[in-house]
Structure 1
Amino acid sequence: MSEPYTALPADDLSRNATIVHADDPGLTHLGIGAGTYTILFSGEQTGGAYTLIEMLVPSGGPPPHRHDFEEMFYMLEGELDVTFRDEQHRIGPGQAINIPANAPHVFRVASATPARFLCLCLPSGQDEFFKLAGEVLPTRTSPPAVPSPERLSEIRGLMMANALRFKSEFLPPKA
């Protein structure tokens, strides 16, 4: 039995089409680890539907983690090794990967050149987590400062203390 059709809601005239360029003034650029994350569309702009972030990561990647939202990467430049439920996948320019909600995963830059990719999170919220832990940078290509050991410990503590608030969980590394 099929669901009955209902009328679409009225157009929300309080929302407008938005066009951005990753180098536009006014966008938020954040230093997270060795990478620079540019928030192209925030949850505030999309009514909480999604967040779109351009990530420029020269090396490394986050610790193993999982979260209760869908996450997709679309590769623009470079390559990533993405480990998803203990299966490793290499993705490069023109390829995309979807990480289902709650699935354990991790990524590492696999190329000699920085990886540049789009990260789409549905629903939004990851942008706010990154704002909490990130260092504001002047441009999307500005490298973050190398933090002192004390600052690195402070950032890790901040992220760990707020992970559940943002529906994320950091996992122990595989032996």
Structure 2
Amino acid sequence: MMDSTKIAAEDRQLTVSLPDERVNVCIGSGTYSIVIKGADTAERFAMIDMWIPPGGGPMPHSHLCEETFYVMEGEVAVFCGETRTLAPTGSAMNIPSWAPHVFHNLSDKPARLMCTVSPAGLDRQFLEIGVRVATRTSPPPSVSAEQRAELMKKIPAIVEKYDGKVLPPDAFDHLMTPEEIQFLKDAEGA
């Protein structure tokens, strides 16, 4: 039983996150809604609502924070180290600190993931990289090839700033079929 006299001496209050007050950003084809900011939790954790369209998912990467996903809708293929796992609706997974990983929506329907990272930081990284949009399901705005190329040059330094590392784009191709790789290329070009 917890001793009520040992309450943490913090100057924090209850955090309430309402959908219409959240910041939403597009990174690639996905839209990420910052549900709980690290600033609200003394940087202990952050929570992000991820909307991943068919063919979507991040670049292969690793980072200091632990990353836990709960698949609320759809499914994603998760690649972590040398393991490939299909995560359908209702699945949960934890990606350990610094584990090389990526996830892809290889289906024809959007996926929705609730992601918690600990410690926080990924929320600020997303805000720095992403383009702000109106809602958690807003499609990405049109970006010229030049703008995309400029952002791609900046991303590794931004990721490193938040204790992460971008991996080669083909880091997990050996765990996918040629058809899946083509599906992702086609989705990226759309």
Q: Provide the TM-score with structure 1 as the length reference.
A: 0.89
1:4 aligns with none
Q: For residue 149 of structure 2, what is the amino acid of its counterpart? A: S
1:98 maps to what in 2? 94
3-state SS of paired residue (2:97): coil
Answer yes or no: is 1:26 the counterpart of 2:24: no
Q: Which amino acid aligns with 1:72?
A: T
One-letter amino acid of the counterpart of residue 138, structure 2: S
- Greater displacement, 84-93 / 144-153: 144-153
Residue identity in the other structure for 1:41: I
**Which consecutive unaligned segments of at least 5 residues does structure 1 have?**
1-6
CA drift at 1:9: 4.3
User: Structure 1 stretch 71-80 or stretch 149-158: which is displaced more?
Assistant: 149-158
SS at match of 2:39: coil
Give the partner amino acid of 2:63. H
The match for 2:52 is 57
1:71 to 45, 63, 67: 67
Write the mapping of 1:1-175 to structure 2, written as runs, cut at 5 A: 8-12=6-10, 14-21=11-18, 24-58=19-53, 59-172=55-168, 173-174=170-171
Range with bigger deviation, 129-138 or 55-64: 55-64
Distance 1:40 1:11 in 2: 25
In structure 1, how many angstroms separate the alpha carbons of the residues matched to 2:94 and 2:7?
Answer: 29
Instruction: Single out whichever of 30-39 and 151-160 deviates more from structure 2.
Output: 151-160
Shift of 1:167: 0.6
Give me the TM-score of the superposition, normalised by structure 2: 0.82
Which structure shows the higher helix fraction?
2
Q: How many residues align?
A: 167
User: Gaps (5+ residues) in structure 2?
Assistant: 174-190
Q: CA RMSD in A?
A: 1.7
Instruction: Among all aligned residue pairs of Structure 1 and Structure 2, give the percentage whose two residues are the same amino acid.
Output: 36
Which one-letter code corresponds to 1:30 in the other structure? V
